[in-house]
Structure 1
Amino acid sequence: MTRTARETAGETTRETAHVWAALVETARRTVADGLVVGTSGNVSARVGDLVLVTPSGVPYDRLTPDDITGVDLAGRQVLGSLVPTSELPMHLAIYRTTDAHAVVHTHAVHATAVSTLVPELPLVHYMAAALGGPVRVAPYAPYGTDELAGNMLRALDGRSGCLLQNHGAITYGATLDQAYDRTAQLEWMCRLWLTASSLPGLTPSLLTRAQLTEVGERLKGYGQQR
């Protein structure tokens, strides 16, 4: 039996509403877990050629199903009336150049602190391998600009997360949960390095690139394989 256009549109609408609900939940987690303050940071998810994204300047606990905000891959608004996040260029740059289905950007304290100190997060823990390797810091550029998006893409080359100098962190994944978990893991590693390097007279031991590569291979078989 041939599917009707109405049936297809109905399923698309239901999927979009489901993803929006998950996106709002993820955005609220960033606040609850202390990764952002107020309306800083932003979250997005891709559904086909549609990008759902948190709107600019709206507290996440006030977002409702009627506040759904979406743009196409060119940045043209196609859903909702609220203005999309000012960081839309970063989100779209990731979707245009990777297979990402979700992006999480935060202003987490420890990640932001590290971004002001070093050009790359030192290899203090093997979970850097889960992000593709040593986490780079994208050079500073004003928020919401194509310049920042370009700097970010270069820092993300071969990685699924990076730090943004004097700004925060950004990660992406195949799902909202994966993107969020990578953000949380990155913030934890930044906190770990700052803690270990703060003790007078002591320097934290760091992993070698070879050790990190070995872990990367082991992580490919980690967890429940289906």
Structure 2
Amino acid sequence: MGTEPAAAGRPGGERAVRDEESRVWETLVTTARRTVADGLVVGTSGNVSARVGDLVLVTPSGVPYDRLTGDDLTAVDLTGRQVRGTLVPTSELPMHLAVYRTTDARAVVHTHAVHATAVSTLVTELPPIHYMAAALGGPVRVAPYATYGTAELAENMLRALAGRSGCLLQNHGTITYGAGLDQAYDRTAQLEWMCRLWLTASAVPGRTPSLLSEAHMAEAGARLKGYGQRR
């Protein structure tokens, strides 16, 4: 008879799970540092998370990302109960958990990107200035303002995210999710770029930016589904 694979509850299986958590944590910290390097957050604002099984690994509250190490791994279950680490999880945990409970997300990135935050104070939906909005599911909505870290903000965010993988948070910032940290981050970067594009075009005196129609967006969305290399 062959040897059975180690189950999660056995020593070998538990080691494999912990190794996976460590690997994802390393990528998560790298992604968090990238948000600072790319100017999407300042200081300790913004936060990043990733799901591993039924656990959510998340950046801790108020700790500069360049100080995080492998020993600082912080994780909660889907109810918010802390099960890994001693550092207090981000205050925006309700938003992250709401995304994981209602979507197939494996990673979430929240930033205070300046152009996106500026747009969130001006409109209730980012005008369809570029077809890449289709990569987020369509025109990007703005979730009404609520105090950070509250259930109200998480609820507002979920309504803005319906059918989307990203939204703006009024007078606050952005949140995007994806199948992994790279995709979630790329969507955040694209959203910030589109907001900067719209603000730049709108600032030209006497001119109004041309916008894409629903048909344009639908066509772009269909083409984007086949974009990139096929395995």
User: So what's the TM-score if we normalise by structure 1?
Assistant: 0.99
CA distance in 1, matches of 2:28, 2:133: 25
2:72 to 60, 67, 70: 67
Deviations 1:50-96 (A, max 9, x none): 00000000000000000000000000000000000000000000000
* Structure 1 position 2, deviation (Å): 1.8
Per the alignment, residue 217 of structure 2 pairs with 212
- What one-letter code is carried by the residue in structure 1 that aligns with 2:22? A
Whole-Å Cα distance in 1 between the matches of residues 214 and 119 of structure 2?
A: 20
1:51 partnered with 2:71:
no
Letter in 2 for 1:73: L
CA distance in 2, matches of 1:209, 1:140: 27
Distance across 2 between alignment mates of 1:225 and 1:128: 22
Alpha-carbon separation, structure 2, partners of 1:118 and 1:2: 57
Which residue in 1 is equivalent to 2:28? Answer: 23
Kindly report which structure 2 residues correspond to 1:102-113, keeping only aligned pairs within 5 A, or say none: 102-113=107-118
Rounded to whole Å, the distance in 2 between the matches of 1:28 and 1:209 is 36
How far has the Cα of 1:103 moved from its partner? 0.1
Report the TM-score, using the length of structure 2 for normalisation.
0.97
Provide the C-alpha distance between the structure 2 equivalents of 1:220 and 1:69, rounded to a whole number of angstroms: 34
Corresponding residue number in structure 2 for 1:162: 167
| Structure-1 separation of matches of 2:73 and 2:122 | 38
Equivalent residue, structure 2, for 1:101: 106
Find the counterpart in structure 2 of residue 185 from structure 1: 190
For residue 119 of structure 1, what is the amino acid of its counterpart? T
Which residue of the partner structure matches residue 202 of structure 1?
207
TM-superposed CA distance for 1:3, in Å, is 3.0
Q: 1:139 aligns with which of 120, 139, 144?
A: 144
Q: Which residue number in structure 2 is paired with residue 36 of structure 1?
A: 41
1:225 to partner: Cα distance: 1.1
Equivalent residue number for residue 4 of structure 2: 2
Q: Which of the numbers 77, 81, 88 marks the counterpart of 1:83? A: 88
SS at match of 1:99: coil
Q: Residue 180 of structure 2 corresponds to which residue in structure 1?
A: 175
Which string of whole-angstrom CA distances, capped at 9 and with x for unpartnered residues, describes residues 129-165 of structure 1? Answer: 0000000000000000000000000000000000000
Q: Distance in 1 between matches of 2:81 and 2:116?
A: 31
Alignment match, 1:12 = 17
Distance 2:75 2:147 in 1: 23
Structure 2 Cα separation of the partners of residues 224 and 175 of structure 1: 17
* Sequence identity percentage: 79
Match of 1:114, SS state, is helix
103, 121, 124: which one aligns with 2:129: 124
How many angstroms apart in 2 are the aligned matches of 1:195 and 1:2?
60
